[in-house]
Homo-oligomer: A and B are copies of this chain.
Amino acid sequence: MHRFRTATFDLENGKRLQNNKNMKTTIKDIARDVGVNVATVSRALNNKPGVSPELRRTIQRRAAELNYLPYGQARSLVTRRTETVGLLFDMELGTLLSNPFYSEVLAGIEAEIRQHDYSLMFASTSGEPVQHFTALPKFIVEHRVDGVIVVGSVEANIIDMLITSGQPFVIVDYHLPDRHLDAVLADNVRGAYAATELLIGLGHRTIAFVGGEPLDHGNFGERLEGYRRALNDAGIPFQDDLVAGGGIENGDLNALQILARRPDTTAVIACNDTNAIAALNALQRKGYGVPDRISIVGFDDIPHAARTHPPLTTVHVDRRGMGRAAALRLIHKLHDNDSQPECETVFPAKLVVRESSGPPPAAKPADSEAVLPDERQ
């Protein structure tokens, strides 16, 4: 390097002059101009004590005149802090962004991060498998971030490598059952339980569950579990042929397939709103009235859920709040060296009853010894 050797020199003292156009002005330039030491300039510009008011003003004025911008790399080198946090996720960026759930989580993270004057870096781990921890995103390998927020499910070995890299991190919307890590989660089980409970309370007995891909993974698995438990607590047997998984792309097909093989279905719970809306459209187009013939309940309460026809009954989770909480947790972790133990923060899932759910078409009380809603709990 040393490409700046070509700069002209002041013959008096041999110091480089600030005359090269594409040369950024540094703290040294200001110090020389004002006639003080660089240490004083540093203290003056950072509003640290030990500089007289008038000298401080002089220095700040000169800095502004010279369009001075500090050089973060040098500062970080000595302070050991970059004031930047990294975001890590295991999908293509486009997928993450077009996901209405995560985009709100990200907005929450960004808001909190910005409020604390941190910056954000992004990286996806999708693609080649990460075998060694030097294959982690560059900003982690090169210590360009102070901490990391993992959003959504990632492979377990990525978590392992994060641990061995020594980076402080917090996970949002994902947890490994066997590890004890900092995580911010939605109460998926309780949410799905409440949704199922609502339908059972309305009189439904044949309730389908249409899921994402893979069905038993992460959040979807937990929601399926909530559905299963609610059925069980109501004395309704869980039936395999009422459950269908598959990608979001054919979310509408799932519902139609179940209705084809189980015409007695009167309600559908979807693993998320995107699937629910797809099912809603598909069913309506096939002539099924919602909620008269069939009830639909979603999960997540994405913005569009309130604007469907009929508006979607769904389970609300404060995604933005989850993002903020994760960011705040990480920031605390970075500041308080006396690290409190790892913990999981669980956000409640609140049922939002709109108009896509109602009683089943023909209440057949004699059909089975149905457990009446008020008998339970």
Contact = CB atoms under 8 A, between A and B. Distances in A.
Nearest to A21: B166
B165 A69 contact: yes
Given A22-B166, A121-B84, A77 B74 contact: yes
A335 interface: no
Interface string A71-109: 111111111101110000000111001101001101100
A301 to B, nearest CB: 14
Contact of A69 (B64, B84, B134, B281): B134
A120 interface: yes
A67 interface: yes
A97 B213 CA distance: 23
A74 B98 CA distance: 37
A142 B70 contact: yes
Nearest to A69: B141
B110 A103 contact: no
A147 to B, nearest CB: 14
A123 interface: yes
B110 A69 contact: no
A143 B121 CA distance: 14
A48 interface: no
A106 B139 CA distance: 19
How many subunits of this chain does the assembly comprise? Answer: 2
Contact of A122 (B76, B110, B133): B110
B93 A107 contact: yes
Given A1-B79, A93-B107, A94-B103, A71 B121 contact: no
A217 interface: no
Contacts of A138: 72, 83, 117, 119
B70 A141 contact: yes
B69 A73 contact: no
A123 B120 contact: yes
Contacts of A74: 73, 77
A334 to B, nearest CB: 13
Contacts of A114: 123-124
A82 B93 contact: no
A77 B73 contact: yes
Contacts of A121: 84, 119-122
A377 to B, nearest CB: 38
20 contacts: A22-B166, A24-B143, A69-B134, A70-B142, A72-B142, A72-B144, A73-B144, A75-B142, A83-B138, A93-B107, A97-B97, A97-B103, A98-B104, A103-B103, A110-B124, A119-B138, A119-B139, A119-B144, A121-B122, A122-B122
Given A72-B73, A281-B309, A285-B309, 7 more contacts: A1-B78, A67-B165, A69-B134, A70-B142, A77-B77, A98-B100, A117-B138
